[in-house]
Structure 1
Amino acid sequence: MDLEQIEKLVEIIEKSTLKEITVEEGNLKINLKRENNAEIQNVPKNIERKTEIVEESDEESFITSPIVGTFYSAASPETPAFVRVGDTVKKGQPVCIVEAMKLMNEINCDFDCEIEAVLVSNEQKVEYGQPLFRVKKI
């Protein structure tokens, strides 16, 4: 097999969809493989993020997450939740923990209130500003 025949084999594999070709002639064996040089393109995706507009009234308010992270209703799995529906909460009292970057951030209430609803589940991912509790100011 001469150089021209080898060049023709290279052309054949380049122009075809073949990924590999092996040719044996006597004691000579040639194996040609196509490398996958396909370019990877980042295609922007339009991600629609639904947000809920939360309006506060004089009686009904919300305790929101000050950071992005994971919501925990208790200090540990063995301890009871910081607050439950119907509990009265004093200003400065912890209501939950939001873990961010392996740091446990205790979330404290900014005003006296009564817990009307817990809006997220334990170990749920939460966003900045996401309502965690619906409360009634006292």
Structure 2
Amino acid sequence: MDLEQIEKLVEIIEKSTLTEITVEEGNLKINLKRENNSEIQNVQKNIERKTEIVEEPDEESFITSPIVGTFYSAASPETPAFVRVGDTVKKGQPVCIVEAMKLMNEINCDFDCEIEAVLVSNEQKVEYGQPLFRVKKI
């Protein structure tokens, strides 16, 4: 989420009857609460000051789980893992499987990247939005 999107959130709450809005994107969570106009302006100033901290260095990003389920690094116990640390992954390439309700859901990468770390273990339960891989976009 960039500064322009955050400013749009502030404008939405200023122009509406909303008293509170919470937005989550990846590991970033923003909660805006209207008590009076001066507080909203203070939030906007604080957001502008903290924008540099929020930005991730070296295009570091995460591949997250789109569903709740069980993580599998390979299609079967006999086959090698879809990806390992150091692998280069192309957009659309499968990186793992998340089983939910006895359905095997192949998780594909949304962008070209390099796998920097696998953040979960094989057969581990995962939550919606939980980071599975730390990657560097290329």
Q: What band does the TM-score fall into relative to the shorter chain?
A: 0.5 to 0.7
- Give distance in 1, aligned partners of 2:115 and 2:30: 77
Superposed structure 1 runs of 4+ greater than 6 Å apart: 1-55
- Give distance in 2, aligned partners of 1:104 and 1:98: 6
Larger Rg: 1
TM-score (norm 1): 0.60
CA, structure 1 residues 133+45, in 2 after alignment: closer, same or farther (shift >3 Å)? same
Q: Look up the match of 1:93.
A: 93
TM-score (norm 2): 0.60
- Give distance in 1, aligned partners of 2:60 and 2:28: 85
- Give distance in 1, aligned partners of 2:27 and 2:89: 87
Count of residues in Structure 1 that have an aligned counterpart in Structure 2: 138
Which ranges of structure 2 fall in alignment gaps of 5 or more residues? none
Which ranges of structure 1 fall in alignment gaps of 5 or more residues? none
Contact 1:56 / 1:62 at 8 angstroms: preserved in 2? Answer: no
CA, structure 1 residues 38+90, in 2 after alignment: closer, same or farther (shift >3 Å)? closer
Which deviates more, 102-111 or 28-37?
28-37
CA-CA distance at 1:46 after TM superposition: 32
RMSD across aligned positions (CA): 21.7
Q: How many percent of aligned residue pairs carry the same amino acid?
A: 97
Contact 2:3 / 2:48 at 8 angstroms: preserved in 1? Answer: no
